[in-house]
Each structure stands twice: as structure tokens, then as C-alpha cells.
Amino acid sequence: MVAVHQVLPVFAPRDAIGNHTVAVRRALQAMGLASEIIAGEVVAGAPGGARTTRHVHPGRLALAEPTVWLYHASTGSPVAEWWAELPGPKALDYHNISPPEVVGPWEPHVGVELEHGRRQLAGLAEVAGWALADSAYNEAELIGLGYRRTAVVPILLDTAHLADCAPDEALLGALMDRKAAEGGPDLLFVSRVLPHKGQHELVKALAAYRLAYGQPARLTLVGAVGSARYAGALTDFVDELGLGDAVTLTGSVDAAELAARFRAADVYVSASEHEGFGVPLLEAMAHGVPVVAYAAAAVPETVGDAAVLVADRSPAVLASAVHRVVGDEALRAQLAGAGRRRLAELGIGPSTHRLRDAVNRILADAGLTP
């Protein structure tokens, strides 16, 4: 049996790349291929069936069956070097690397890691026979780095069931009660709290919205803290603006709380300047929440015509875009419909089909057949 084993630096729960890796394994196995997940670190709570690099003897695996090694690149890691030394053909799946020049000033050690990741990615162009990318935006970066054979395979995401989880009813009730009591819209953004995700720009936009439209809007920022320093600055900034009651930083939340947050939201708003794909944008569509987003990186490609994109993330522009979306029923309905179509286009079926095509080409180049 031919194998396509996946290698990644960290395999963690509630992580888009982790979930993608599991979905890829399922798709590979459905193709009749053997597939294991091997990670530098397996975090407690991660979906089962993964091994760490310390417990794997690559030579033994490769001897057992002809193997293609698929590496998931999203940061600098010694695991990439481990993968590069493996025997047999290799492919890389690129999920983008955050911009070190934005993250580094806040978290110098992370910046160094990301810088290393970018250099490492460039160096791996000679190692990887093929490179997959979540988006054409990511693919363009790979081509710019000298990767010769590339294909776009979106994150494998069961978009049909993104909104299936039952919400935390108690929380949802409290959020809706507050909305009824105070009036004004609820703005939501979901991502790790990091400077390039632009949470501070959303706080500015909230301040501008409340000032210009005189409505008590609220902003919820869901996501684990990726930079403690940035999160601290964000909290201080919110306090100085007197928006402590209007801005909620939830940290990492479970699926039920996330569903409640989406159900209570009137608009999903993103000021992120760097997205290699943007899974939460699709989650918002799945919940029928209209999207306003800064048109940066892969965001326009991911949302298609299912969002109001703004070319400028200045507070006034974001605030007025939010106001328009909140108050325009026809626009909301159109975005909801376009969102459903976009989810279908990026659903697990079409994306798996693209993965199978890419894997077949990788195997053919390696002289292997499933």
C-alpha cells in the first residue's frame, strides 16, 4: 500500500490546521492510501491517532511502504528539517506564516521564529517536489519563493456543518437580553489575539461607530491570546477609551460558546491585515452573520462576493461599513445567500476533490499509484 504521511510542528485541539490535517488523513485513507499524522508536539486534547517525531522511525515507515511525506508549514520549526531529511518524495502544504515584522516588535521570540519560518520555507523549495496552498494568495508566495509545482487546495472544512453545534443557551440568552436592553449592534471577530489580526483597529472602529452613530454598539473578540503583550495593550486601550463595558475579550472558547457568540452577532467584522485563508469568515457565513472585512491578503479570495470588503481599515470606514450592513436588510439577505453559495463552493466535497487531484499528480510524479 502506498502511504502519504503528514508531518506538522504542533498538533493541537481547536486548531484550524489540526482539523485540516485530520480531514486530509480521512480523505487520503478514502483514496486507499495509508496515512499517519506525525507532529513535533502533540498537545493534550488533540484529535487522536497522532504520533510525535520522537516515536517515529522514518526509515522503518518508508521501508514498509512507498511513502510521500506531506509537511504542513505555518511557522519555523525544527520539524521541517526533520521532514526534509526523510527518505522519499516530499510535498508541502502551506498555510501561510504570519508577518514577523508585525508580530516581532510585540513578541520578539515569536518574531524570530516566524522569520526563521520564512527563511526555512524558502529553503524547502528545493526539497518539496510539490507544494499545496490554502489559497491563490498563498500559492503566489510559494511561486515567488521558487516552488515549481504548486496547486491550490483550500482548507478541508465541513462547511455544511459549521453552524451545527448547539449554542450555550444561557449565554445566548444573556447576550440577547443585553442587546434588547441597550440596543445597538453586536460586532464579532474571531481569531488569535495578535497585532496583525487588527483587534485594536476594531476597537477604534467601535469607538468611531459609537461616536458617529450614537448607538451603544458592542464588540466581542473571541480567540486565544497569541501575544500577551498585545492583549495587555488592547485591554489598556479599551479602558482608556472608556469602552470596558462594550468590548469583551473572551479568550479561547468552546464550540457552544462560539455558537452563542455567532448567534448574538449582528455583523462579523475583520480588520486583519494578514490571512492565508480565514476559516472564521466562513463560520460567520455559516451562521448567517453578514461579513465586513478589510480586503487584505487572502480575505477577498475566501469571501468572494459574500462580504462587504473595504480597501481601507480606518475606523471611520469600518464603522460606516458596519452601519450600512446592520441597517440594510436587502444587503444582509443578499450576503446571507452569497455566503451559503460560497460555503458550498469551499465545502468539504469540492475541496476534497481538489486534494485528490493534487495527490494523484504528486503520486504520478513520484511514480506511485494508490
164 lies in the binding site for another protein (CB under 8 A): no
Segment 181 to 240, residues that bind another protein, using CB under 8 A: 195, 200, 203-204, 207-208, 211-213, 229, 232-234, 236-237, 240
Nearer to another protein, 36 or 328 (CB): 328
**Within a 13 Å sphere around the CA of 8, how many CA atoms are in the beta-carbon half?**
26
Nearer to another protein, 37 or 308 (CB): 308
Output the DSSP codes for 198-256.
THHHHHHHHHHHHHHH----EEEEES-BS-HHHHHHHHHHHHHTT-TTTEEEEES--HH
Q: Minimum CB separation from another protein for residue 338, in Å?
A: 8
171 lies in the binding site for another protein (CB under 8 A): no
**Contact (CB, 8 A) for 93 and 151:** no
Out of 70, 279, 321, 355, point to the residue binding another protein (CB under 8 A): 321
Length of the chain, in residues: 370
114 lies in the binding site for another protein (CB under 8 A): no
**Contact (CB, 8 A) for 212 and 244:** no
Round to whole Å and give the CA distance between 117 and 79.
Answer: 11
Q: For the window 240-269, what string marks contact with another protein as x by the rule CB under 8 A?
A: xx----------------------------
Across the strands, what pairs with 220? 188, 248
Binding segment for another protein (CB under 8 A), chosen from 121-129, 215-223, 250-258, 341-349, is 341-349
Round to whole Å and give the CA distance between 231 and 199.
Answer: 9
44 lies in the binding site for another protein (CB under 8 A): no
Dihedral sign (CA 225, 24, 130, 354): negative
Contact residues for another protein, defined by CB under 8 A: 104-106, 108, 159-160, 195, 200, 203-204, 207-208, 211-213, 229, 232-234, 236-237, 240-241, 296, 305, 308-317, 319-321, 323-324, 328, 330-331, 334, 337-338, 340-341, 343-344, 347
